[in-house]
Amino acid sequence: MKKRYLQGIVLLFLSTLASFLNAQFTPEEVSRRAKLEEFLKTADIIKSTDIGEGVTKPFRLDMKKGDEEHSGCWKNPSGMQKGYFEGWRYEIAAYEMDKLLSLNMIPPTVEREFDGKKGSLQFWITSEMSDLERMEQGIKIPQDRLESWNKQKYLTRAFDCLIANEDRTQQNIRYTKDWRTILIDHSRSFRSSDKFKKQLVFGRNGLLSQKLFRRLPRIFIEKVSDLDFEKIKKAVGPYLKDDEIEALLVRKKLLLEEIEEMIKQKGEKNVLY
């Protein structure tokens, strides 16, 4: 009995460790997430600045509560804008799915009213550069970070497949100074039309391109496999409609089938880690 108990403790520790090894926010940052969510919801807005970029017309809100001060990115797109269907509620749903899957790649994001309108408010992260800036400046990924960077890239693509994010650009992939990947801007996610239920965004037959996800963490696959309607509904609350959740579950099946095919071709140890 004691041996079995100790084995259980070891497995729990390894599982927790694995989730942090795959995380882009550090364990300390993740532990502060609930407090940051509460801050974003309740802090006083002391200044607002029109950021002036992007079709969603975001604002930077500077906030204060007691001695604590932070900023956030607020936006409230809804409906068709420049040929794309945009929704601020998808920003919150993406963050809640990020938490449900233990990705820890999306900054805290909550619902917040500003200027008499409802919208999403995302914690303002301090990043070193976007992937676009990296490409334009010809900055190479350090050799000792290359493996980790590739894993983050593949995990991002797999997540985008699941949530049907058709707007993953180089501008909304951000890097910290130590080359951790942070993902922003998910207002064009959770598509539920037929084409997003027949094909994944990326992968062998991707809607946007054949950008593959060659290697993925086991814990991610396990959590995706465990998804069902009730788990997702509980996580995302009112921010996704039932048909959007059902579409996500269709993509779950497609994603797992593609990963299974990859394992058959390359072997499990070459796909999962």
SS3 state of residue 248: helix
Higher-pLDDT residue of 238 and 79 is 238
Quick check: 6 pLDDT over 70?
A: no
pLDDT (average), residues 37-66: 91
pLDDT in the model for residue 79: 80
Query: Can you tell me the distance from the alpha carbon of 130 to that of 197, in angstroms, rounded to the nearest whole number?
Result: 30
Q: Where residue 41 falls among pLDDT bands split at 50, 70, 90? A: very high
Question: What average pLDDT is seen over the chain?
Answer: 90
Query: Can you tell me the distance from the alpha carbon of 196 to that of 162, in angstroms, rounded to the nearest whole number?
Result: 10
DSSP state at residue 143: G
Quick check: 186 pLDDT over 70?
A: yes
pLDDT in the model for residue 54: 62
Neighbours of 217 (CB within 10 A): 20
Quick check: 18 pLDDT over 70?
A: no
Helical pair 218-225 and 146-163, crossing angle rounded to 10 deg:
10
pLDDT in the model for residue 57: 82
Q: Which single residue is written with the structure tokens 């072997």? A: 267
pLDDT digits (tens, 9 = 90+) for 60-116: 999 999 999 999 999 999 887 777 889 999 999 999 999 999 999 999 999 999 999
Query: Can you tell me the distance from the alpha carbon of 128 to that of 142, in angstroms, rounded to the nearest whole number?
Result: 14
Q: Where residue 12 falls among pLDDT bands split at 50, 70, 90? A: very low
Quick check: 177 pLDDT over 60?
A: yes
Quick check: 8 pLDDT over 80?
A: no
Quick check: 22 pLDDT over 60?
A: no
Compute, in degrees rounded to 10, the torsion defined by CA atoms 107, 166, 260, 226: 50
pLDDT in the model for residue 26: 85
Query: Which residue spans within 131-195 are E strands per DSSP?
Result: 173-175, 181-183
Quick check: 16 pLDDT over 70?
A: no
Query: Can you tell me the distance from the alpha carbon of 237 to that of 234, in angstroms, rounded to the nearest whole number?
Result: 6
pLDDT digits (tens, 9 = 90+) for 115-167: 999 999 999 998 899 999 999 999 999 999 999 999 999 999 999 999 999 99
Share of the chain above pLDDT 70, in %: 90
Higher-pLDDT residue of 120 and 51 is 120
Q: What's the distance, Cα to Cα, between the start and end of the chain in Å? A: 30
Q: Where residue 2 falls among pLDDT bands split at 50, 70, 90? A: very low
Model pTM score: 0.89
Give the DSSP letter string of 8-57.
Answer: HHHHHHHHHHHHHHS-SS-HHHHHTHHHHHHHHHHSEEEEEEE---STT-
Helix (H) or strand (E) holding 7: helix 2-21
Quick check: 17 pLDDT over 60?
A: no
pLDDT in the model for residue 222: 97
